[in-house]
Structure 1
Amino acid sequence: MYEYDVFISYRRADHAVPAWVHTHFHPRLVELLDLHLSREARVFCDVNVGGGARWPDEVRKALLRTRILVPVCSPKYFYDEWCLAEWYTMAKREELAGTVRNLIYPVIFCDSKNFPDWAHERRMQDFRAWAKPYEHFQVSMDYLDFHTEVTRIAEELEELIELAPEWQADWPVVTPVPAQPPASRLPRF
């Protein structure tokens, strides 16, 4: 069964994108999506992964049980193997379910001119005007426009969530093979 309505995908190695997702986008999306659904909104973000959990396994499980992927796109997003695996997972599901490109809902964080051509085939939501990762952004006048835009997105996501295909336990999930940790060096005597 589905566990999550939305999976927020972003490049974790950056500084600005994770700060923006955690401080602004994720909390507002959960809040506003929850207002539009008849049940509690469930949004997966890496903050959902508890301490000591095996991150690759948690991501794999969450992808399998998510209706819609919301990638927060920056140029480096499309060079990150985990980000691409998350995108390809949902693209493959669209193909298998016969849906018309409605399981991936991209958000532009910055610089879309350097995205690959295949990414531009999707209608993307432009958040460059509100890509401010700093906490004090919440007290600016621009934050009201940001809130309005996230409200609009929540309304669109509500429709897409309802149109998601029936869940299947055998949906393929693409994930990179994690690198093995280096062998520990034993001291020589």
Structure 2
Amino acid sequence: MSYSYEVFVSYRRANAWPRFLDGTFLPMFRHWLSAELDREPRIFFDADLIETGTSWPHALAHGVAGSKVMLCLWSRQYFTSPWCLAELGHMLARRRALADTPPPLVLAAVIHDGEHIAADLGDIQRFDIQPYANPWLARDSPTAEELSNRVRVLASHVAHALEQAPEHDEKWADLAVEEFVELYRTRSLQRAVPSLGGSRP
């Protein structure tokens, strides 16, 4: 079995950040990564792929396990989400298991509060786009142009990371499903969850 996606986008779906991702960041990222790869990239983004009625813990698990690299959008809220931490933890565990000098499987774009990122994540390549991460960014503004320039650099590094991705291992899916389903059950016991559909908190 081969990879289903090039990139898994890991982010916290909170406040107006989905507006920034859907309307600004992802169109730029898709454009520049497509230019780097010379084809349309396969990107796992939960708003695109998880439809109402889908068991989203399974969908997230298969998305993470089936992606070559992970692009995190780090904010203060990212690190308070059990789901984001589970996604990141799965990819970091894969990286640790590979080699003494593992490939860059995780890259991060910092969109908010980059000063309070855990020290043990210091070896993850990160790109600071905080000054330009605005959900209400005006299209064709100088700020949007500068964001596009920074996303172009980010996309080139993601393309380089894709070249270094290891062969796919089918065991990753079983491990991720087990972890994500257990997390869902634990969270369900802690509070009422209205549906299996939709996006995770």
TM-score over 0.5 (shorter chain): yes
Shift of 1:145: 0.9
Judge conservation of contact 2:103–2:161 (CA < 8 Å) in 1.
Answer: no
In structure 2, the CA distance between the partners of 1:183 and 1:25, relative to structure 1 (3 Å rule), is closer
The residue identity in structure 1 corresponding to 2:17 is V
State the distance in 1 between where 2:193 and 2:8 align: 34
2:32 matched residue in structure 1: 32
Secondary structure at the aligned position of 1:164 is classed as coil
- Of structures 1 and 2, the larger Rg is shown by 1
Give me the identity figure in percent. 25
Q: How many residues align?
A: 182
Shift of 1:56: 1.1
Alignment of 1:82-161 (within 5 A): 82-98=83-99, 99-100=101-102, 102-134=104-136, 136-161=137-162
Shift of 1:183: 10
Shift of 1:86: 0.5
2:197 matched residue in structure 1: none
1:75 matched residue in structure 2: 76
- Give the structure-2-normalised TM-score: 0.83
State the distance in 2 between where 1:84 and 1:57 align: 16
State the distance in 1 between where 2:95 and 2:134 align: 32
- Give the structure-1-normalised TM-score: 0.88
The residue identity in structure 2 corresponding to 1:26 is L
State the distance in 1 between where 2:47 and 2:60 align: 11
State the distance in 1 between where 2:17 and 2:193 align: 33
Judge conservation of contact 1:91–1:101 (CA < 8 Å) in 2.
Answer: no
Shift of 1:182: 4.9
State the distance in 1 between where 2:140 and 2:171 align: 45
Judge conservation of contact 2:103–2:164 (CA < 8 Å) in 1.
Answer: no
Q: Please, which moves more after superposition, 168-177 or 122-131?
A: 168-177
Secondary structure at the aligned position of 2:71 is classed as strand
Judge conservation of contact 1:67–1:161 (CA < 8 Å) in 2.
Answer: yes
Superposed CA offset, 1:116-175 (max 9, x none): 2222342311010111111x5223111111111111111111111111000010023242
RMSD: 2.0
Unpaired segments ≥5 residues, structure 1: 185-189
Q: Please, which moves more after superposition, 38-47 or 145-154?
A: 38-47
Judge conservation of contact 1:33–1:41 (CA < 8 Å) in 2.
Answer: yes
Moved >6 Å (runs of 4+):
none
Secondary structure at the aligned position of 1:28 is classed as helix
The residue identity in structure 1 corresponding to 2:146 is D
